[in-house]
Amino acid sequence: MNQPVPKDSPPGPDVTPAGEATPRGSPVPEDSAASTPALADEAPVLTPAILARLAAVAEGNGLLKLGVVRLDHPGFAPARAALDAYVAAGKAGDMDFIPRTVDLRKHPEGMLPGARSLLVAAVPYGGEPGPIARYARSRDYHTVVHQRLIALEAALHAELPGVRSLICVDTKPVLERSAAALAGLGFLGKHGCLIVPGLGSYVLLGELLCTATWPEGHPTAAPTSPPWDACGACTRCLDACPTAAFDAPGQLDPRRCLSYLTIEHRGHVPEDMSEKFGERLAGCDVCQEVCPYNAGLGRNARIPAVAWLPPAPRPAPTVTAMAALGGAQYRGFVRHTALRRIPHRLMRRNALLALGNRTGAPDPGERHAFAAGLLEPDPRVHDAARWAAARRGLDEQALAPELEELRRLREAAAAAAEAREREDDD
């Protein structure tokens, strides 16, 4: 599942990684606090006319379906309760940033004292099925969406000079999918992703937290029906999950999700999960690929060309090449992409597990990758190589020629480096 979060933490409750707040606008008074916001009559007021003008600016900069929701909307209550239950059940796993930021996720005005509203917009992304999730094969959405929000923020300040604001793109602790649904962008599917009519669930979200208030259409009660009612009786996403990671509609256990295991999990991957990796390197789109709301969307001609997330600057290496890729090469590949979140050795771990799920006799490149992994001191890489090689009918004895050649090359490289060092000393 990949609607980062990043992604990207995988959706369960509405969670994303947390970063530092850098508000823009009038300085916060020294005696301000999240618990003591400014008086309502002092807050700048968003109106439908202003929102319409902001939406035009947003669309011109590739931010679609702009909506607004008040932070005191009662519809946030289910998401806050789900977050508490999620953390209490230990579902955050290695994502320790989630328990640390529970209070801010539930009360984002802690990042911007006096905040009252959240402007939310969507950015579509495309791509075909592959070993790397679609969004991660694009230019880093954190940077792209942030740049687009800067233009929207400037327009907001031009409309409401006294407003203060904070750009939020995945790295800020915001219940963003719930906010997007409450702001009218779409609805939450049973896979936990936001489904935007006309765009499907292949969207990224960006927000502006601001001190403006939104008086129009403020609801008096929270929604009473499940947010995935528009899915009807369909359970394709739940049924298609390779690891049965859904406990119920809208309730994902990330510890069984391939997106979490390939991106966030820092340890060894359990063998029963390794077998279900397929040839995935980063992320999993299965629950979105089977969703009827995504059927036939492609690069929809009705979507402005400026809105699409740009492609990554470099093509991805093959799975085989990734399994033996050097650190400098890897850093060059992931630069300017969201894959920077995955450390080099963990990507090699993933690639080796993927090779272990292939069938047939290993080719020379795969044998080389297994041998390189077996020589890796990091136990996560070494153990993945041993498991994968065994799955393909190989052990260290069978890989002796490759191991010997790699040791010889490493010794020669070390000797050359030592010689250069002696020359420098002379």
The string of pLDDT tens digits covering residues 144-190 is 999 999 999 999 999 999 999 999 998 899 999 999 999 999 999 99
170 is annotated as an active-site residue: yes
Query: Taking 90 as the threshold, does the pLDDT of residue 282 lie above it?
Result: yes
| Backbone phi and psi for residue 65, each to the nearest 5 degrees, phi listed first | 60, 40
Position 215 scores a pLDDT of 86
Cα end-to-end distance, the chain, whole Å = 57
Find the catalytic residue in 8, 14, 140, 170: 170
The percent helix, strand, coil of the chain (3-state, each to 5) is: 45, 10, 45
> What are the structure tokens assigned to 60, written together?
């011109």
Measured CA angle at 280 (ends 279, 284), to 5 deg: 140
pLDDT category of residue 263 using cuts at 50, 70 and 90: very high
**Predicted TM-score of the model (pTM):** 0.86
Contact 94, 141 (CB under 8 A): no
Position 425 scores a pLDDT of 67
Query: In the Cβ-directed half-sphere of 248, how many Cα atoms lie within 13 Å?
Result: 4
- Cα separation, 7 vs 145, whole angstroms: 14
Query: Taking 60 as the threshold, does the pLDDT of residue 72 lie above it?
Result: yes
| 3-state SS, residue 187 | strand
Per the listing, tokens 């917009």 go with 121
- Cα separation, 385 vs 368, whole angstroms: 11
Contact 126, 137 (CB under 8 A): no
Task: Give the burial class of 378: count Cβ atoms within 10 A of its Cβ; 0-12 exposed, 13-18 middle, 19 or more buried.
Answer: middle
Query: DSSP label at 29?
Result: P
